[in-house]
Amino acid sequence: MEFLRSENTHFSRERELNIRGKLFTISAPQVMGIVNCTPDSFYADSQSSTIEKQQALIDLHVKNGATWLDIGAYSSRPGAKHIPEKEEIKRLKFAVSYGLETYPEVKISVDTFQSEVASYALEQGVHMINDISGGLINPEIFSIAAAHHVPYVLMHMRGTPQTMATLNQYDKLLQEVIVELGTQLEKARAAGLKDVIIDPGFGFAKNSEQNLELFSYLEAFQLFDCPILVGISRKSMIYKTLGIDAADSLNGTSVLNTLALEKGADILRVHDVKEAVETVALWSKTRKISSPE
């Protein structure tokens, strides 16, 4: 199996998502703001374990132009401690209710792989489930999302957050990731999911070099004919490569997000919404100039 880099993969088509019976059109790349309701995220400035911090971060993301908020309460950094579903729900319930009630124009995604958490969030009215395990840990999450008629983010990972760092042995990285995603996508479709978004899973069961290799072939994921979500914000593939830390990785994030747009990304999942919105605006402007109608 061989994949070639495309010379012209920029955003050129509209995507439609059915969210609870209403069509949501992605006519330009979207920015998704990360809301971590955790005390132990890998990026310290994104830790929002208090109600006050969660509210302030949601307000800031919306002010800065986020189309989506991705609310998560289970740290997925390598080796993170497992927490039970009830604790995860307790951590995220304020952020979910505040986001839904205060900003009805913004779409709310919940970042979870636990089925009870997904059920709770969907019953509150959230618009999407973002599952880092792609249905591997709790396969019933497919049918739960399908029953509520919401989109589902299917990300590539192996194992669990506790074991994934030891599961990064690949003979042919790109081909294996695509095959494994394809297998899960078939299961999602069989469970009734209509709108699936693909996330290659940068940082999950992949080391820094593997992440960069996979990113270089990002356009290959267009073969699924699904929207593509890219989450590389301040990750180790940036700061380990540059010899810095997560706190100093905003510039590197913006560079890779720009390249991701060139390679066909539909949604950028970020800690820094203002900078990502500016990245999309400038990139979109140059695309219009270089590709006149």
- Which residue among 235, 263, 285, 288 is the active-site one? 235
* Known active-site residue 90: no
Cβ atoms of residues 14 and 49 within 8 Å = no
Q: CA-CA distance, 262 to 287, in Å (whole number)?
A: 9
Q: CA-CA distance, 57 to 55, in Å (whole number)?
A: 5
- Which residue among 86, 269, 285, 288 is the active-site one? 269
In DSSP terms, which residues pair with 15 in a beta bridge? 26
Cα–Cα nearest to 120, from 153, 151, 87? 87
The pair of structure tokens assigned to 54 is 């969660």
Q: CA-CA distance, 142 to 130, in Å (whole number)?
A: 11
* Known active-site residue 269: yes
Which residue type is seen at 274? Answer: K
Q: Is 25 exposed, middle or buried (0-12, 13-18, 19+ CB in 10 A)?
A: exposed
Helix (H, G, I), strand (E, B), or coil: what is residue 242? helix
Q: Which residues are catalytic?
A: 235, 269
